Each structure stands twice: as structure tokens, then as C-alpha cells.
Structure 1
Amino acid sequence: MGEINVYGIYFPILLVQAVIAYVLFKLLTPATDRLIQKGWIALPSIFNLCFYLGLMLLVHWLFVWLWV
């Protein structure tokens, strides 16, 4: 997909997607923390990693779908 040019500075699309996914992750983490505290999630660190990667996949899919 390439890069995004912001005032002469080129940012890779993957970096922009990662930042957007991280912001979404931070906004949705309080909801998942409640599930972790209740014991519904056995391995919280692995769950958080998979949750972030899932958000990254969703953001990437939206970028590809909207760019075409």
C-alpha cells in the first residue's frame, strides 16, 4: 500500500495502522479487564496480545477495503 506523506515526512501505512489499533486497544482494555478480574480469561497476557493482533487485522482490513 505504500506510505502516507505528512508535510514531507513519509510514514509507512503499517505504522499508522499499528497506532490506530493501539489506540483502540487502550480504549477497549477496561472492558476486557473486567473479564480478566472475574476469571473468565485464563492467560491475560496472551489474550491481550491476541486481542491487539485481532484489532490490527481489523484495522488493516478496513484500510484495504476502503482503499480499493
Structure 2
Amino acid sequence: MGEFNVYGVYVPTLLIQGLVAYILMLIVIRYTDKWMDQGSDAFLGLFNFCLYLVLLLLVHWGFVWSGF
């Protein structure tokens, strides 16, 4: 994977990908909360965890294909 050098501090690429996925998850959760209030999912924590993993996969895929 690699790392980025930010003013002499090496930042892992996976950390940046995780932060981007978390920000995207906060945006997506605003829209999925309407479904959760209706009771369409019994395990909200598991749903959010799976949503985060899918977003992390998409962000990682974007990093790999963009050449970072």
C-alpha cells in the first residue's frame, strides 16, 4: 500500500482511506436513518458496520485505480 509524507510524518494510506470512508458513512447514514426509524433493520450496529466496510472497500478500490 504505502504511506504519504506530510511534513516529515508518514501517514499510512489505510488511515486516510478509513477517514474518507467514515466521512462518507456519516453522509450516507443521514439518508438511511429514515429507513431505520421505520424498523426495517433489527441490528442497527451490524448494518452500520457492514455499511462502513462496503464504503471502505469502494474507497480503497478508488485509491488503487487512481494510482495513489
* TM norm structure 1: 0.93
What is the CA deviation profile of residues 8-63 of structure 1, one whole-angstrom value per residue up to 9, with x for unaligned ones? 11100000000000010111111111110011222111000000011000000000
- Percentage identity across paired residues of the two chains: 49
Query: 2:45 maps to what in 1?
Result: 45
State the secondary structure of the residue aligned to 1:18: helix
Number of aligned pairs? 68
State the secondary structure of the residue aligned to 2:5: strand
Alignment of 1:15-26 (within 5 A): 15-26=15-26
Query: 2:34 maps to what in 1?
Result: 34
State the secondary structure of the residue aligned to 1:11: strand
Structure 1 consecutive aligned stretches of length 4 or more whose deviation exceeds 6 Å: none
* TM norm structure 2: 0.93
